[in-house]
Amino acid sequence: MSKNNIVVITGAGSGLGAALAYKYSSLGYHICLLGRTKSKLEQTAKTLTHGYSIYEVDVSSKQQVAQIIQSIQGDLGPIQLLFNNAGVGYFDDAENLSEDSVHQMIDINLKGTIFCTQEVLKGMKDRNEGTIVNIVSTAGKEGKVTESVYCASKFGVRGFTESLTLELKKTAIHVFAVYMGGMKTEFWDGIFSEEQTKKLMDPHDIADIIMDNIKPRKSLTVTEVVIKNQK
């Protein structure tokens, strides 16, 4: 298998992760679907036209992430492209957020991104190639009402991404951040009404924008893109 054909997507069971999996599969890539719920990953897999692998993993567990990434590299080969897409959000006034909700947002959104990145970086540095895409959200750019801890986790991902970009400045590894508004996904189930979700963005449109911006281009590098909902 070509070393350039392996794409790893966390949170691949729905939404943007599923859209990215579909689009990269249609281009002939082998897709590694990572997520906590096997049944959801299997649903995504049904839409794919080329090879895929399914891995149940909790990205907040460094041990699990290490085992899965090592397994992928051992069985399939070098990872060329990583999408840190897994995320969770709980929205309420700051004082009302439960301890478990706080832990989940920090552990999955921030620590999960860090752990997955750490594991793929070893191989990418050895080969001096690869791309890491962090799906951050506009919550990593500005504070929002009832999103205090969610924003805190995403501001953390932003800081990690910007620092990582500086660390890798003299390498051929590309780090890319996506700051997008709300999308029409199950992420908002129980939070937004059906009428509210109608105004949100289509994850397939976001996937197209991401894919177009991370393409290698002569004499330039796109480090981030901000995508906002129309008012």
Please tell me which residue in 24, 29, 55, 150 is annotated as part of the active site.
Answer: 150
Tokens of 33: 């679907």
User: Is residue 132 within 8 Å of 117, Cβ to Cβ?
Assistant: yes
Specify whether the backbone of 128 is left (phi greater than 0), alpha (psi in -120 to 50) or beta.
Answer: left
Active site residue 52: no
| Rounded Cα distance, 195 and 189, in Å | 12
Please provide the distance, in angstroms rounded to a whole number, between the alpha carbons at the two ends of the chain.
Answer: 45
In the block, residue with structure tokens 């480090």: 223
Q: Half-sphere exposure of residue 188, counting CA atoms within 13 Å on the CB side?
A: 16
Closest listed residue to residue 13, CA positions, set 59, 49, 45? 45
Residue holding tokens 């189930």?
Answer: 189
Question: Which candidate, 104, 101, 82, 100, places its Cα nearest to that of 91?
Answer: 101
The residues assigned a catalytic role are 150
